[in-house]
Chains A and B, each alone.
Chain A
């Protein structure tokens, strides 16, 4: 891990200004930001670990915890909001048993809400591992989770 981090820092010539892009590349490499990787960034870039930690926790793009197998992003942009995205968010939280920003304990699902994805004509929109699902509603979001393998409470009723 140390070697990989060093390589990434070198990609940006060890320039401290590139802390954010370096962290983005490190996260891409390891699927999240492990503590050891951050310590390595601090050492190789010669930036205090307190500042690395500040930057990691300040920006929403960074995750200190591993992400789930399925990463769900629900757009909460204004257009999607007025088309009912809030209710979809609560539905997903209920079904997965986690709050937005979290990952299920079995590491199957990560759920986050994002500011506008810019696909407003399709709103509400959920992106699953890069794949867009448009014209979402509550019923469809439940179906989506079922299709990804999540057992839903009302399954037994069918």
Chain B
């Protein structure tokens, strides 16, 4: 166990945990955009920065990655920290002017758009939080989508921006996307869904008859677990 101070409160925590985890457990609010409880932190949005003092050294660090330590003094709302958070939100709002989530977050934090940042006109809502790619790689395990290019050209897509043969149509990426950038469309009857430009046939539940999951997704689960496709053709409600 280590003893540290966050916003003038003395807190005891297990060594090896991050400042963000410990802060949240103790009811201290730190905003994040790229953090997810099921995913390894990546430190890319920089919203969760805090000012951390260890001995004589003060640094601005991302709380999602910074480990707690004995004698650490953390300020989650210092001027430098608020300056970074303001800049990050202003930059993201200019990047994705259509995003309601960003506008709401900014309003909550009292951040106004910077007029000198001409909003981008490409209607992209992606803030490159990396959640979709991380989910597809680590949780789903197919790596159907990934990053391409770098810097301002960086974007999430399927290889060659074509239909991905490895995508199983599970929709996990659309589910975790915080801004609704990833679109998944289902037909009226529910017999098919389209995501990342590819249409997937849906499987009907052999008990209730409703469409519930893509055939390809069940085939993938079957391959991974050894369970037969037939055994898997039962929807969650009927299990």
Binding site for B on A (CB under 8 A): 35, 48-54, 57-58
B63 CB, min distance to chain A CBs, angstroms: 28
Interface size on B, residues (CB 8 A): 15
Give a binary string over B135-157; 1 marks a CB under 8 Å from any A CB, 0 the rest: 00100001111111110000000
Contact B166 A49 (CB under 8 A): yes
Contact of B158 with A by CB under 8 A: yes
Residues of B within 8 A of A35 (CB): 160
- 11 other A-B residue contacts (CB within 8 Å) besides A50-B164, A57-B149: A48-B137, A48-B166, A49-B159, A50-B144, A50-B145, A51-B143, A52-B159, A53-B146, A54-B148, A57-B148, A58-B149
Give Cα distance in the complex from A139 to B233, angstroms.
Answer: 72
Chain A residues within an 8 Å CB radius of B149: 57-58
Q: Are B150 and A53 in contact (CB under 8 A)?
A: no
What are 11 of the A-B contact pairs (CB < 8 Å)? A35-B160, A49-B159, A49-B166, A50-B145, A50-B159, A50-B166, A51-B143, A52-B159, A53-B146, A57-B149, A58-B147
Which residues of B sit under 8 angstroms from A58, Cβ to Cβ? 147-150
Please, which residues of chain A bring their CB within 8 A of the CB of B145? 50
> Taking CB as reference atom, which chain B residue is nearest A56?
B148
Main secondary structure of the interface of B (DSSP, over half): loop
Binding site for A on B (CB under 8 A): 137, 142-150, 158-160, 164, 166
Residues of A within 8 A of B148 (CB): 53-54, 57-58
> Complex Cα distance A51/B158, Å?
10
Give chain A residues whose Cβ lies under 8 Å from the Cβ of B142. 48
CA distance A52 to B159 in the complex (A): 8
Bound CA span A59–B148, Å: 10
**B137: chain A residues within 8 A (beta carbon):** 48
Closest 5 CB pairs of A and B: A50-B146, A48-B143, A53-B159, A57-B148, A57-B149
**A51 nearest CB neighbor, chain B only:** B146
Q: B150 to chain A: which residues have CB within 8 Å?
A: 57-58
A53: chain B residues at CB < 8 Å are 146, 148, 159-160
Closest to B165 in A: A49
- Give every chain B residue within 8 A of A54 (Cβ-Cβ): 146-148
A58 to B153, CA, bound (A): 10
Query: Would A48 and B160 count as touching, CB distance under 8 A?
Result: no
Kindly report which residue of chain B lies nearest to residue A52, judged by CB atoms. B159
Residues of B within 8 A of A51 (CB): 143, 146
B158 — which chain A residues lie within 8 A by C-beta?
50
Closest to A53 in B: B159
Question: Across the interface, which residues of B come within 8 angstroms of A49, CB to CB?
Answer: 159, 166
Question: Which of A35, A51, A54 counts the most B-chain CB atoms under 10 A from its CB?
Answer: A54
**Distance in Å from the Cβ of A37 to the closest Cβ of chain B?**
12
Output the least CB separation between A51 and chain B (Å): 6
Q: Complex Cα distance A52/B143, Å?
A: 11
CA A16 to CA B210, docked complex, whole Å: 43
Chain B residue nearest to A50 in the complex (CB) = B146
Shortest Cβ gap from B157 to chain A (Å): 8
Q: How far is the CB of B121 from chain A (nearest CB, A)?
A: 20
A18 CB to nearest B CB, Å: 19
B147 CB contacts on chain A under 8 angstroms = 54, 58
User: How far is B160's CA from A49's CA once the two chains are assembled, in angstroms?
Assistant: 10
Complex Cα gap A89–B124 (Å)? 31
Docked Cα-Cα span, A54 to B158, in Å, equals 10
CA–CA, A53 and B160, complex, Å: 7
Taking the closest CB of chain A, its distance from the CB of B72, in whole angstroms, is 35
